[in-house]
Amino acid sequence: MSELPAVSEANFKSEVLDASVPVLVEFGAVWCHPCKQLEPILKNLAKEWEGKVRLLSVDVDQSVNLTTTYGVMSVPTVFLFVKGQPVERSTGLQSRERLIQKFAAHLG
């Protein structure tokens, strides 16, 4: 699906909720063109924020329960989880600048 490391319902708790660093999670799908456009931007930010954040992806078609739990209605939707809690959310294709505005403040 994604160029980003994938997380599933089976390992979401250990990889995201129990993570010691903040985790950006992109909820997307194989068929989602805006997701494919967003991923290089997210990968770039993950490099820029190395050591401050981890970047993962969830395939909404394979992880329906997670998609429902977090109220994802459209893709891409990106969440920032800090200490197991979703603290920020972005829906749709966003510019790099907009993503920085939304998430950087939570990364210390």
Catalytic residue set: 32, 35
DSSP the chain: --SSPB--TTTHIIIIIT-SS-EEEEEE-TT-HHHHHHHHHHHHHHHHTTTT-EEEEEETTT-HHHHHHTT--SSSEEEEEETTEEEEEEES---HHHHHHHHGGGG-
Paired strand residues for 27: 58, 77
